[in-house]
Amino acid sequence: MLRTVFGTDNPATLPVSATGSGGMDALVANFVEADDRVVVGVNGLFGERLCDAVSRLGADPVRVEAEWGRAIDLEALIAAVPGADAVCVVHGETSTGVCQPVDGLGEACGENGALLLLDCVTSLAGQPVLLDEWGVDAAFSGTQKCLNAPPGLAPFTAGARAIEKLRARREPPRSWFFDLSLVLGYWDAEGGRVYHHTAPINMIYGLAEALRIVLEEGLEARWERHRTAHGALRAALAELGLERIAPDGEELWPLLAVRLPEGVEDAAIRGPLLTEHGIEISGGLGPLAGRAWRIGVMGEGARPEPQERLVRTLAQLMGRNAVPAVEALEAGWSTAAR
């Protein structure tokens, strides 16, 4: 089921016993070595984290940057590939609500002998993720976003070129726990399982059920529902003066990041929204701190009922008329239904 959701046939596809951040560590620990030249796309907090993780391994990170709230120029990424050992990109930048296009990047990496490594934490199961078609060599995600499972596992997949690099390493990965060659020995029943750690089996059962629910809905139907939910909520919040940060064509469907209008104080709204109404949205990070809200449009949150409750409550707390916003929300969902 994980292979289906990732859009891959990779045999090495499994949930790593860690959160999404652990999945990031597993990605770089296995496929980046000291002194490697690694191109890292940086346009938000999680690109910065990837760059930091690469640096801690003694590799040479080459930053290709864009301002927070914009996708990275693909031509700039592709131009940086020659001479690189790996390219690390965040597909769904959770800090800004931007989805990074990767068209042609896998082909460029393949032609230059570089691995393409992808962070799919917020995009998996909420927006098209087609790893084999895109030429991605390894990727990771998290269970708590669009898969709607409890947090604590990192869906992970690695293709043949990535496994080949792992086997040819000059030294073993610096992390014993995340050493994929050891972890795969634990998961590979046909080869004779070798104990590695005590897996969080209850969470694995939870992930299995969540994946069944995803595939019962159908991936394309689920992607379309997230696209519709994003558009409907965007239109509704615009009626309250909350405009999306990401421009058209660069938006991350499962996460809507909006700028706060003049006169709206971040904590003054988000505080009572949570404590009095039981609804939690996230504040901005980095240069967007205090100036933006990040609203999940994920899984069961990507449906009309929770979105209408959010819109009505925000309108009340902001002192705005809820009617135009609710009408815009309903129009977005009804248009999709037709």
What would the two tokens of residue 58 be? Answer: 């003694």
What CATH number does the domain located at 2-214 have? 3.40.640.10
> Residues 289-303: what's their mean pLDDT?
96
Whole-Å CA distances, 102 to 26, 72, 73, 99, 134: 22, 10, 10, 9, 7
In sequence order, the β-bridge partners of residue 62 are 39
Distance CA 274, CA 283 (A): 12
HSE (CB half, 13 Å, CA atoms) of 312? 9
Residue 338 clears pLDDT 60, i.e. is over it: no
Burial of 177 (0-12, 13-18, 19+ CB in 10 A): middle
pLDDT tier, 252 (very low <50, low <70, confident <90, very high otherwise): very high
Task: Look at residue 323 in the predicted model and tell me its pLDDT.
Answer: 98
Helix (H) or strand (E) holding 255: strand 255-259
Q: Cα-atom radius of gyration of the chain, to the nearest Å?
A: 20
What lies within 8 Å, CB to CB, of 276 at 6+ separation is none
pLDDT tier, 335 (very low <50, low <70, confident <90, very high otherwise): confident
Residue 273 clears pLDDT 90, i.e. is over it: yes
Q: Which CATH superfamily is domain 219-337 in?
A: Aspartate Aminotransferase, domain 1 (3.90.1150.10)
Residue 188 clears pLDDT 80, i.e. is over it: no
Helix (H) or strand (E) holding 51: helix 45-56
Average pLDDT, the chain: 96
Neighbours of 201 (CB within 10 A): 9
Residue 89's nearest CA partner among 75, 77, 76, 104 is 77
The domain segmentation of the chain, as residue ranges, is 2-214, 219-337
Q: Convert the pLDDT of each residue in 54-65 to its tens digit.
A: 999 999 999 999
DSSP code string of 174-201: S-STT-HHHHHHHH-STT---------H
Residue 103 clears pLDDT 70, i.e. is over it: yes
Q: What is the pTM assigned to this prediction? A: 0.95
